[in-house]
Amino acid sequence: MLDGMRILAWGSRSAVELSASLLGHAGAQVHVADPDSTQSFSGYDVVIVSSDAASFAAWAEISSLKASGTLIVCDICATGPQSARFAGRWTDGQIQAITGLMDTTGFESGEPVSIGIPFTEISAALYAAAAIAAASRVLRAQGFAQNIDVSLFACASSALTTFLPKAFTRSSVERVGNRHPACAPWNAYRTLDGWVLICTSTEDQWRKLKIAINQPALDDIRFATLNERVRNVDSLDPFIEAWSSELTTDQCCALCEKIGVAAGPIVPISLLHEEPNFKLRHPVAAAEILAGEIGKHTYAAVTPFRTFPLMNDSEFHSNAPETPRRLTAKSAGYVAGLEARQGPNPAGALTGVRVIEIGQYTTAPLVGKHLAALGAEVIKVEPLEGEVARNWSPGQDGLSYFFALNNTDKKSISLDLKQASHLRYLEALLATSDVLVENLRPGALAKLGLDRSSLKEINPALIYCSISGFGIESAYPTRPAFDTVIQAMSGLMDLTRDGNGAPVKAGASAADILGGQAALFAIVAELVGQSEGSGRFVEISMQDVAAWSCLFAAGNPASKSMTIACSDGYVSAEATNSVEIEVVHSQAPGAHCEAMTRDLLIAKLESLGIAAVPVVRMDELMDDADFLADILSVGRDNEGAFWPLIKMPYRLSRTPAKVRTVPSRLEPVMVQFTEKHESTNEIPITNTHES
């Protein structure tokens, strides 16, 4: 992947160490230096720094290095260099608070909760690694280095795509705890020996669960439809918990897996080594956890992505042709066509790369969105009726803001892959593509005849990335998984608890997002190291990535903060005990924090040397100067209408990643597949239906 790349990690932020670790997993040679030491940059290709947390001398050295243009310099800071907040040494917890990320986590009737892992640092590390790989590709191909800026503030904002649509319309965003705002039943329920997450998303899943529970009360008209169940969820959940509380967690999970309903236990981080899928996939890390406490570097024993030849090594080498070939081998002009092909962003780091995306909602679409912003041509394959998320509310002109945010700069086609002609059309596209990324259930493509062996025959040079909840090699080969279940089964919910100690999921789809980010990095790294004709398989288990993040958090605990209610919202304070808060009360006799405004309480805390920031609500984020100037962007659809978009959280100085357009509506077009579509540039890329 990145063999031969030499990395110097020279910064105090967690994201610096984590990004270096990721690059090391991809084959780079990494040296982690003391951030306070003097460094020589000779012999390195990349230097990763955190200038906002550096000494003045180190900051001056970083500035000089950036100006030299001799190395790839990746600077990971809390906010963008143009931000009014740039001078502050903001922590992950403070960034979660001031971006609205914290406001989305917690129970409806409770206080906002900080995510129990340094989410913005981890997210910044993953995006930084992907941006470094992209810059390395440019360096190898075109011979010039460039600077990269990565912002924790922007990473947090990028994770808010579920909530930004309502914020765009100035609607209030409510915390939902472990529920789902549009599905029910979907919650954490008590069992005989713990907790279980049960998540239903279709009427068929509800019908099967209702039959399994066998409780006549569930036939009530209040639960007859999805909308009714969501509206009456407070009445529904007690019936589900009355059933689950009579079973063990394992019994609940086994029954749900049998009927195709996503479910999983809330796994304590200290017992992660006993979780069957984690133990199967990461025996070294499991043994290390079993042998003692989770250490500072235990996380490094977990690989957040896996890569293999498109087939096994022996078959790959024995069958590899002397010259690259595709399914459309009769097209002798393929290589020339690849070199001449221009993506939507000609200046991008991935110009000339074609990507096929088959997925929905968050993970695969996130990957495709970033590959497109980096310059690749991304073709999104949707079902005939289009992805369900197209129709979610709110939106405009019949398209949801959520879908628009997650699918910028892509070409959309609609195919019914159960129809032979549509499947052949997809195969022809794959023969002319560089990357396939999908987040279907494991084995779904294989059932259509597109297993790894077939994909290798179609295109020996293809990079195929599969994203799933538990991976291809799994203790749960048939278990469906949602983000909520993965948060539960990776330790993330155990680490994220409210003031009463109750486990709660991150409001943002943390497992989905982190899984997509890991896939993005692995794909770009494969594009850097790929030799012509050497197809690769990238396997992403969302549980792997989330567990990697949780083990880092457990082994490298951050300072705790307190959430304090005020008259106009909440404040997040780095006050570690109630005694310090009582000191604040004594400064205003007869008054309590609840009677103060956030600004007043923050001023009083800071006068006592206690750092504090407001917990910004999502609707307030729309008025934040940094968000408006450095994060929010605007794009257009094919009809010329304007759409709010979010800029990339990483900025490459010479090959910038850009968001520009919103996907068009799907229009019915006849698939006319014939043998004449053999060459790269003759395959029609249009919205497709077959009558």
* Token duo for residue 137: 């590709």
Provide the H-helix boundaries in 449-506. 452-458, 483-489, 492-495
Residue 20 is which amino acid?
A
Q: What is the pTM of this model?
A: 0.91
* Token duo for residue 184: 């029910």
Among 83-97, 264-278, 572-586, 661-675, top mean pLDDT goes to 264-278
Mean pLDDT over each residue of the chain, to the nearest integer: 88
CATH of domain 186-265: 3.30.1540.10
Residue 298 is which amino acid?
T
- Do 6-174 and 186-265 come out as alike in CATH topology? no
* Token duo for residue 361: 């909602």
Structure confidence at residue 382 (pLDDT): 93
Alpha carbon distance 640, 28 (integer Å): 44
Asked if residue 654 has pLDDT above 60, the reply is yes
CATH of domain 6-174: 3.40.50.10540
Are 409 and 441 within 8 A, CB to CB? no
pLDDT digits (tens, 9 = 90+) for 308-324: 999 743 343 333 333 23
3-class secondary structure, 306: strand
3-class secondary structure, 480: coil
Helix (H) or strand (E) holding 132: helix 119-142
Q: Any residues with CB less than 8 A from the CB of 609 and at least 6 apart, and which?
A: none
Provide the H-helix boundaries in 374-473. 401-406, 420-431, 444-447, 452-458
Asked if residue 687 has pLDDT above 80, the reply is no
Q: Which of 562, 571, 563, 564 is nearest to 598 (CA)?
A: 571
- Rg (alpha carbons) of the chain, rounded to whole number: 25
pLDDT digits (tens, 9 = 90+) for 152-205: 999 999 999 999 999 999 888 889 999 988 889 999 999 999 999 999 988 999
Beta strands in 550-590 (DSSP E): 562-566, 569-573
Q: Where are the domains of the chain?
A: 6-174, 186-265, 562-621
Structure confidence at residue 182 (pLDDT): 82
pLDDT digits (tens, 9 = 90+) for 602-646: 998 988 888 999 999 999 999 999 999 999 999 998 888 999 999
Q: Spot the catalytic one: 103, 149, 409, 512.
A: 512
Q: Which of 137, 100, 136 is nearest to 115 (CA)?
A: 100
Asked if residue 586 has pLDDT above 90, the reply is no
Structure confidence at residue 227 (pLDDT): 86
Catalytic residue check, 512: yes
Of residues 344 and 568, more confidence is placed in 568
Structure confidence at residue 576 (pLDDT): 62
Q: Which residues pair with residue 356 across a beta bridge?
A: 379, 436
Going by DSSP bridges, is the β-strand pair 569-573/562-566 parallel, antiparallel, or unpaired?
antiparallel
